[in-house]
Amino acid sequence: MSDLMLLCTITFRRGAGIILVLLLVLSAPRVAQATAFLADVDDLPLAPGLIEDAGSRMAFDKPGGRIVQALASGPVAPAAVRTFYTETLPELGWQLGPSGSWTRGSEMLSVSFESASGGVVVRFAIAPAGTR
């Protein structure tokens, strides 16, 4: 009887080990595809495939609120990037205004898209609402 218990224990441990390895392997691509955010706006994600241009960053705080400008680009279809932000920004509290800009609290966000060779360039601008 003890040999049977030993065999069951070994089989269970081997099965659990295989399952653990499979879970680690299957979760690895998800880690590699973790969401990136703009460097100066920690709650504004970059659409998949976009990379922020560090040289284009400008950010500072003033008494009336912060001002941030950033640029990101990548080999992504402009329509896919536009859809990403149309779906994602409301989940982050941004509301689309009639002028096409987004507002959240006392801030206004402008996101513009330009087709580029093989992809898109996205310009982000945040300023206190009412300053544009």
Could you list the pLDDT tens digit for every one of the 132 residues in the chain? 566 555 455 555 565 445 533 344 344 443 334 689 999 999 999 999 999 999 999 999 988 899 999 999 999 999 999 999 999 999 999 999 988 999 999 999 999 999 998 899 999 999 999 775
* Cα–Cα separations (whole angstroms), residue 90 to 76, 94, 118, 127: 22, 5, 28, 18
Query: 3-state DSSP call for residue 5?
Result: helix
Q: pTM above 0.95?
A: no
Give the gyration radius of the chain's Cα atoms: 23
β-pair partners for 87: none
User: What backbone torsions phi and psi does residue 73 show, to the nearest 5 degrees?
Assistant: -150, 165
pLDDT for 27 equals: 43
Per domain, the residue ranges of the chain are 1-34, 37-128
pLDDT for 4 equals: 54
